Amino acid sequence: MELLKGNYRTGVRLGLISEKNYAPLTDSLGRLSRGELSDAEVDVARARFYAAELAEAIRVFGAFNADTDANLFFRPGLVDFKRFAEQLGRVAGFYSNLYSKLSAQPFEDNLWKEFFDHCADKSAGLTWSELTTAHRECSNRFTRILEAHFNNTPMRGIPNFADRDLGLTIKSYPTTSVLVGRGYSEAKAAMKRYDEECSAKFGFNFFLSDSEDVKFGYWGGEQDLAAIEARLPKDRDEKKPPLLAARNGELARGFGSFSR
């Protein structure tokens, strides 16, 4: 049990498990375990529903079917993507050696240099596991770099890579479907009903009143979005694509209609 709890805490810390997304489950179980029985029937029903949704989220993770999964677009996700991005940003900061570049005392530079001087040639043709088994000192040197970086208090003032503007280093334009107009409001209201009804079949009864409210969105800088728009076919459904955001990386410009 302690191992399970430890793994759970590690998963939450890394962002691989979202505590917030399944708060209805943990809150209901918490009230029941404390003997708060005034709404016991409701809490039992909610706990059972969200436990089943959690099990289903794990079962279909990475292999979902939008045609047969009723609650796919309503079920809380497993991953806390904000926290996961922050952790990836910390890793990126480590490998970029950014603190040494911004610091008057580039202590990590020396550690990296020593690591490569002693281990680069030895690593040829080996996996990391093979290298550290054959040359334990390489593992020790790398551990010293990790400890020096993450135990360094001033490093906490360095911006996380996850907070940088999208496409700052490499031009990139993530795409996804975007709900606009009345479709957004309808979906938001449906999310509230999903939580209230606790039905495994809820999603099968949800439809947008206008499928044109589903757009294909590009995330990026305003100038880049304008350039993408100019190169899209002129005969697409939308005569004038709506501007959904002005700030880079937060929302997107929707181009044309999108249907499943």
pLDDT digits (tens, 9 = 90+) for 125-146: 999 999 999 999 999 999 999 8
* Residue 255: pLDDT over 60: no
Q: Does a structural domain hold residue 34?
A: yes
Q: What's the Cα-to-Cα distance from 62 to each of 53, 58, 72, 100, 260, rounded to whole Å? A: 15, 9, 12, 38, 19
Domain that holds residue 139: 82-163
Q: Which residues does 94 contact at the CB level (< 8 Å), separation at least 6?
A: 146, 149, 150
| pLDDT tens-digit series, residues 201-227 | 999 999 999 988 988 887 877 788 888
Return the structure tokens found at 113: 């240099």
Give the pLDDT confidence score for residue 18 in this predicted structure: 82
CA-to-CA distance for 140 and 201, rounded, in angstroms? Answer: 54
Percent of the chain with pLDDT over 90: 27
φ/ψ of 50, rounded to 5, equals -70, -30
**HSE (CB half, 13 Å, CA atoms) of 170?**
2
Percent of the chain with pLDDT over 70: 82
Choose the final residue of a domain: 140, 163, 186. Answer: 163
Q: Which residues does 178 contact at the CB level (< 8 Å), separation at least 6?
A: 214, 215, 216, 217, 244, 251, 252, 254
Choose the final residue of a domain: 71, 95, 114. Answer: 71
Number of domains in the chain: 3
Give the pLDDT confidence score for residue 22 in this predicted structure: 84
